[in-house]
Amino acid sequence: MISTPTNQARVDQETVTFAGVVSGGSGIRQVLVSANGVELWRQENRTQLPAMALNLPVKLAEGQNTLVVTASEFDGTMHQEMRTVYLEKAVPLAVDVRYPEDRSRVTDEASVVAAVARSSKGVSRITVALNGSEVHRQDERSPQKSIAVSAPLTLREGANAIVVTALEPDGTTRQEIRTVILERPKPAAPAAAPPPAAAPPPPSTQWAVIIGVGGYESTAVPKLRYPVADADAVYQTLIASGGFKKENILLLTDKTERKPTLRNIKWALGTFLARSAHKDDLVVIYFAGHGASEVDQRGIERDGLSKYLVPVDADPDDLYSTALPMDEMQNVLARIEAERITVFLDACYSGAAGGRTFASTKTRTVNVDDIFLERLTRSKGRAIVTASRPSELSVELPELGHGLFTYYLVRGLQGYADLNRDGIVSLQELYEYLTQEVSRKSRAVGGNQHPMLKGELEGALPLTKAGKRN
């Protein structure tokens, strides 16, 4: 039993003491201590000691650290206990305005402000004021260490003052000011009229694989209510608003002729897309269903867990051979020639009850990190948008008839995410819209869900045309 540190402890010192007592019925044969997948200490016993004391100094890395003690008895019984410890160095309150640039000149009165506020003490409120009038306010009942804000603006002729203000729980305030000048273009003489600006050229061809899994074959896997409806909505939206051709979209759900089995999912991603999509094409991959995790037998995952997407025919006691490992997704994406690939995952991995996740019988719920997502997006032109942070739940809401993330994903693609009102929904605009709406709605129903974006694409990536809002 580990006495210190406590699980989920947050410290500001680089070294902590890892202490406890290891005991076993048939005697302790071996004890191994590791931190973030690296072995720190090992002891082999030739005599059957009934108990051993641990007292080790452990140097932490900044951020999340996973400490694991593994003990085996002389009869072969193995025990393992984990602790997650966070090293958080003090970060003063700061506001980073991503858009617009200071002293920029524009010709359109419709604009947007995008900013991020950070503080190790937490940010309890962030506001946006335009020319002295508050136009946006965001209060956090549970102060967050980082809050993103995106708000539409209507500029007036001449200079406009945009003030973004962030507050800590103790009242400490930080402001950043941007000045934007609206200059309406003067009408030019007909003979000298410049040619209209050309719209960005669309990708050569658009391809998509849409997957929705709700009715799992194994009774040990909890069924989900809305993945089929989610997948159908994304499919219809890509055709109606994205201009995707039906023959270029492969739809796999519980109700389609081709079911979302492991074999069919690997064929759709690694064969259909690999053979169809070329370098300049756009590829969209969407998955709605369970994510799952189990103990990482290889010992390379910092949080100690291997992650999977769960097909309809998965065996929860044998995820390695019946589910799709996220590491295998890296190989799948490498097979696709296209340099514009966006993956949307409405699933989660924490194993906690109530969301689109479950834990194998060999795993208990722990804190999940996002290193596995960063590995998937190391190649050029790969971006992944997840429904929630790794240790959060991706929930379904009966009042929406969809997963919370997918409901706003569809609305965003239909045009609600067109923040700069240019008639095109880009990936960057879509992510800002999802961050704001999913977080807001989850708080309203007592949840805590925040979408994540990993990877970067060069320039703006158009996804759909902004349609009529209902």
Q: What is the pLDDT of residues 218-266, one digit of tens each?
A: 999 999 999 999 999 999 999 999 999 999 999 999 999 999 999 999 9
How deeply is 84 buried, as exposed, middle or buried, from its count of CB atoms within 10 A (0-12, 13-18, 19+)? buried
Tell me if 434 sits within 8 A of 453, measured CB to CB.
no
Is 66 found in the same domain as 126?
Answer: no
pTM score, whole prediction = 0.56
pLDDT of 117-161, one tens digit each?
A: 999 889 999 999 999 999 999 999 899 888 988 899 999 999 999
Query: For 78-88, what is each residue's pLDDT tens digit?
Result: 888 999 999 98
151 inside domain = yes
Indicate whether 351 pLDDT > 70.
no
pLDDT band for 185, please (50, 70, 90 cuts): confident
Please report whether residue 322 resides in a domain: yes
Q: Supply the range of the domain harboring residue 159.
A: 94-184
Q: Looking at the structure, do residues 213 and 166 belong to the same domain, yes or no?
A: no
> What pLDDT does 435 receive?
93
Mean of the pLDDT values across residues 337-344? 92
At residue 414, the pLDDT reads 93
Whether residue 62 lies inside any domain: the answer is yes
Q: Does 125 fall in a domain?
A: yes
Whether 218 and 258 map to the same domain: the answer is yes
Residue 435 lies in a domain: yes
Where does a domain end: 35, 67, 87? 87
Q: Are residues 80 and 126 in the same domain?
A: no
Do 331 and 402 share a domain, yes or no?
A: yes
- The answer to whether residues 303 and 369 belong to one domain is yes
CA distance 164 to 114: 9
Residue 33 parent element (H or E): strand 15-35
The CATH number given to whatever domain includes residue 278 is 3.40.50.1460
Do 349 and 266 fall into the same domain? yes
Structure tokens at 373: 């997502």
Shared domain check, 234 and 347: yes
- 372-425 pLDDT, tens digit each: 466 655 567 888 999 988 778 888 899 999 999 999 999 999 999 998 888 899
pLDDT band per the 50, 70, 90 thresholds, residue 177: very high
pLDDT at 131: 92
Domain containing residue 118: CATH number? 2.60.40.10
Q: Which of 87, 116, 137 is the last residue of a domain?
A: 87
The number of folded domains in the chain is: 3
Listing DSSP states for 366-424 in one string gives: ----SHHHHHHT-STTEEEEESS-TTS---EETTTTEEHHHHHHHHIIIIIT-TT-SSE
Same domain, 308 and 428: yes
User: Among 135, 151, 184, which residue terminates a domain?
Assistant: 184
Residue 256 lies in a domain: yes
DSSP letter for each residue of 212-247: E--S-SSTTSPP-SSHHHHHHHHHHHHHHTT---GG
Domain match, 456 and 358 both = yes
